[in-house]
Amino acid sequence: MSKLKIAREQKNLTQEELAEKSKISVRTIQRIEAGTEPKGHTLRALAAALEIEETLLQDPEKISEVESTTIDEPAIISEEKDAETLPTDGINYSQIKMINLSSLFFTIVPPLNIFVPLLLMFILKQKNSLARQIISVQMIWTVMAPIIFMLGIFLKLGRQFTLILMILIVLSNVCIILRNAAEIDKKKKLYFSLKFSVI
């Protein structure tokens, strides 16, 4: 079996996910897994994407150590600490941010604030816990918003109060979306998240 294939499978990555992570084409990965030796930029990019030493893709005896060996760079160590909250394999944070911000345009049309990010999740192939959490938060908000609005109407505090309540409900979702977008940029995680996933 190919050394690259063993390393890739130990990291639970598909050829497509590895291609996206390493910026090496799927066809090149298929050729290497079929027996072609990776060299130069290709070898470095694949090793970096798999977070292993380049020699592990060349020396078959060291492949069993893939799980425990990573590149000796401080950036990788800090990423491992962040990985405790959410797995980073296959996550494209710019696409996750796009999925999150897509809800912003549909805060006043509640069903679409769920369906548009859900559709983007499938189109962009970002079916990870981060995308699921974004959609779960929107689902909870969509359920809670009409309940809070109805409670406000039953209090019979007048039209002005009802209008202010509607604006506050919409603004609360705008704040959730924007705060999560900022947190994705800074810490690669969500500020507002649930301890469970609705989807």
Average pLDDT over residues 177-197: 87
User: Which runs of consecutive H residues, i.e. helices, occur in 51-154?
Assistant: 74-82, 93-102, 112-123, 129-154
Between 140 and 1, residue with greater pLDDT: 140
Give the fold, CATH level 3, of 3-72. 434 Repressor (Amino-terminal Domain) (1.10.260)
Taking a C-beta distance cutoff of 8 angstroms, is the pair 152, 165 a contact? yes
**Whole-structure pTM value:** 0.53
Q: How confident is the model at residue 108 (pLDDT cuts 50, 70, 90)?
A: confident
Coil, strand or helix: which one is 28?
Answer: helix
- Structure-token pair, residue 176: 């959730």
6 neighbors 66 (Cβ within 8 angstroms): yes
Residues contacting 60, CB < 8 A, separation 6+: 3
Dig out the tokens for 196 from the structure. 């469970």
Quote the CA–CA distance of 118 and 10 in Å, as a whole number.
29
pLDDT at position 154, please? 87
| Tens digit of each residue's pLDDT (9 = 90 or more) over 30-71 | 988 888 888 888 888 998 898 888 888 875 544 444 444 444
Contacting residues for 87 by C-beta, under 8 A, at least 6 apart: 128, 129
Domain boundaries, the chain: 3-72, 93-187
Task: Give the model confidence (pLDDT) of 142-179 as tens digits.
Answer: 999 999 988 888 888 888 888 898 899 999 999 999 99
CA 82, CA 77: separation in Å to the nearest integer?
9
Tokens of 156: 């019979």
